[in-house]
Structure 1
Amino acid sequence: MEQILEFSRNNPILIIALLAIMGMIVFTETKRLSRRYQNLPPAQAVRAMNEEGSLILDVRENAEVRDGRIKGAKHIPLKELKTRLNELSKYKDKSVVVYCRSGNRSAQACEILTSNEFEKVVNLHGGMMAWQANNMPVSKK
């Protein structure tokens, strides 16, 4: 125990860095464990997409959608989602699969949806990049 105290006194920057890293790990894990949506890779997200009455929601910007999208997806850019939630109200008890380019904006959209009482929300982990990397179909229309 004495050696630990001596090390701490001689290396305060290392101790501060260790505590900061431990704090970040605890924060990240707490956030992961408390999220109310699923984070699924493309192959598993397809199951949710195939459920009767499900919604596929594209939260990318307009310019990104022109490069292709998942067939049947409804497009609402993330910045407009809060003001357009009424368009999605009939899906509150159905599966809603959300995607963007990489999965980051769609995670934010999933948080918005779950905080507005949507029950079965799925984030497409890796977004369109993962979808295309898995050779899944993309519609250019």
Structure 2
Amino acid sequence: MNFFVFISQEWLLVSTLVVLIYIYAWRERIKSGRPISVHEVTQLLNKDSAVLLDVRDNAEFKAGHIVGAINIPFSKVAAELDKLESHKSKIIIVADKLGQHAGSVGRTLEKQGFVVRRLSGGIAEWQAQNLPLVKK
């Protein structure tokens, strides 16, 4: 009960706190690469202005991946950045299973000067849209 009394009396303070939390969350999301839809990804890949980096483990990658994707498992990205140097002029689209690792990989890549976007929803969203995967 005291909580609601505090909120009603200090509405300006509480509103400011909520706005600051929202701004912080929004900035953190953008820092790791702006999320883009599967349709935007296909357009960028078809124009050859982007490269897709799949950060899932090798077994998941072999089970099905997007055509032309480069596979560097999440745990090895920092050590294997040299594989991406030849693509520095293109947008790097980071894809993982559900979107849980793409943010931290995006931050790592942006610190190295890459332009990064994240596949919104990961490979799971790609499959949900009935888009094709290559199987090895």
Shorter chain as normaliser: what TM range? 0.7 to 0.9
**Residue 59 of structure 1 contacts residue 76 of structure 1 at CA under 8 Å; is this kept in 2?**
yes
How big is the shift at 1:105?
Answer: 1.0
| Residue pair 1:51, 1:95 contacting (<8 A) in 2 also | no
- Residue in 1 that maps onto 2:5: 7
- Tell me if structure 1 keeps the 8 A contact 2:103–2:118: yes
CA–CA distance in structure 1, aligned partners of residues 100 and 47 of structure 2: 24
Map Cα deviations across residues 65-123 of structure 1 (whole Å, 9 max, x no partner).
2321111111000110011001111111212221000112122211111111013x221
Matching residue within 100, 123, 129 for 1:128: 123
Cα distance in 1 between the residues matched to 2:50 and 2:123? 18
- Structure 1 unaligned spans of 5+: 1-5
Q: How many corresponding residue pairs?
A: 129
Task: Map 1:14-25 to 2 at 5 A.
Answer: 22=18, 24-25=21-22
Percent of aligned pairs with the same amino acid: 27
Q: Partners of 1:134 and 1:54 in 2: how far apart?
A: 20
Distance 1:77 1:130 in 2: 19
> Which residue number corresponds to residue 132 of structure 2?
137
Asked if the contact 1:60–1:75 (Cα under 8 Å) also holds between the matched residues in 2, the reply is yes
Q: In structure 1, what is the Cα distance between the partners aligned to 2:43 and 2:88? A: 18
Offset of residue 54 of structure 1: 3.1
Q: Which structure would you say has the larger Rg?
A: 1
Runs of 4+ in 1 over 6 A off after TM superposition: none
Change (3 A) 1:66 1:90: closer
Q: CA deviation at 1:25?
A: 2.6
Aligned CA-pair RMSD = 2.7
Q: What one-letter code is carried by the residue in structure 2 that aligns with 1:7?
A: V
Equivalent of residue 28 in structure 1, options 11, 25, 28: 25
